[in-house]
Amino acid sequence: MSFLKYRLRMDKNVHLIMKILTVFSIVTILAILLGLLYKAYPILKTHSLTNLLLSKDWFPQKELFGLFPFISSTFQVTGLAMFIAVPFCLLASIYLSEYASKSITRLVLPLIDILAGIPSVIFGIWGIILIVPFIRDYVAPFFGKVSSGYSILTGGIVLAVMLIPVMVNILLEVFNTVSRGYKEASLALGATKWQCIKHVLLIKSAPGIISAIALSLSRAFGETLAVLMVVGNVTKSPKSILDPAQPLPALIANNYGEMMSVDLYDSALLLASLVLFIIVLFFNIIARVILRRLEKNNH
């Protein structure tokens, strides 16, 4: 009887600890949101939010704080990186999970783990040494454009490479959770290997694939140093992927702590932080909604 009471007490304690940690996570998110909103309030009190988000004019000395060029650059760099990384990582993960021999898997997986551990500044230097000259000397002239090489395309390529280890590792874990019985049943009914992958593996893994993309997207939106080093940091709305740009994380990293004597400058940068936070939160919520719908359909 005492052992049963002990087990019940332990279950209650574990349940309480989990509840406290869950509440703490929610409170932390709310605290960050409210803290950024509080610090951004001075500029929201004197400037229209619509004007701040849609204006292209960024001249802090004149109290013009248009964030549109930075928001546009953020979406373009991140969107391009995901456009490159998602198909590559998905196909690479399918190959490693379903086609590759054990010797190839044992060789490739440690290399992916090493790639995950490389500091972002190294990716930035790699981008400056290899990708920037390649864009400047070959890609831009091929399209009849003139570019310094520091551009959205460069930032997207560097960011895509940084996302590879995160996305591939998650996708491999997701594919490994699919029951082997489903695959064997599909093959036994006469399906080809690719049909089995398309109709069984990808459908059963759809919620996990969405989660992997959402996590990688959050990482891409927040990446700062490597992108800052190769994107050009020019305060204007880019018209093509060969133009330089300045995403929101680069704006904050480049300017926070400087020119704080300018009225509302600090508040404008924290508003940029708030916008970035809301963007990441929004896409995570959308991914969660899609994930729940997919899970219901699978059941």
Q: What is the mean pLDDT of the chain?
A: 86
Whether 2 is covered by a domain: the verdict is no
Q: Considering only CA atoms, give the Rg of the chain.
A: 23
Instruction: Name beta bridge partners: 64.
Output: 59
In the chain, the number of structural domains is 1
Residue owning tokens 């996990």: 208
Domain of 151 in residue numbering reads as 69-298
Whether 154 is covered by a domain: the verdict is yes
What digits encode the pLDDT tens for the residues 58-77?
888 888 888 999 999 999 99
What average pLDDT does this structure show over 270-294? 84
Whether 245 is covered by a domain: the verdict is yes
Contact by Cβ (8 Å): 183, 196: yes
Whether 50 is covered by a domain: the verdict is no
Whether 43 is covered by a domain: the verdict is no
What digits encode the pLDDT tens for the residues 164-196?
998 998 898 888 887 777 777 887 777 778 888
Exposure of 241 by Cβ count < 10 A (0-12 exposed, 13-18 middle, 19+ buried)? buried
Whether 127 is covered by a domain: the verdict is yes
The CATH number for 284's domain is: 1.10.3720.10
Contact by Cβ (8 Å): 155, 77: yes
Q: In 120-196, which ranges are E strands?
A: none
> Residue 294 — pLDDT band, cuts 50, 70, 90?
low
Lowest mean pLDDT among 54-58, 206-210, 258-262: 258-262
Q: Residue 210: what pLDDT? A: 85
What average pLDDT does this structure show over 3-20? 80
Greater model confidence, 299 or 279:
279
What type of residue sits at position 240?
A: S
Whether 152 is covered by a domain: the verdict is yes
What digits encode the pLDDT tens for the residues 129-170?
999 999 999 999 998 888 888 999 999 999 999 999 989 988
Whether 59 is covered by a domain: the verdict is no
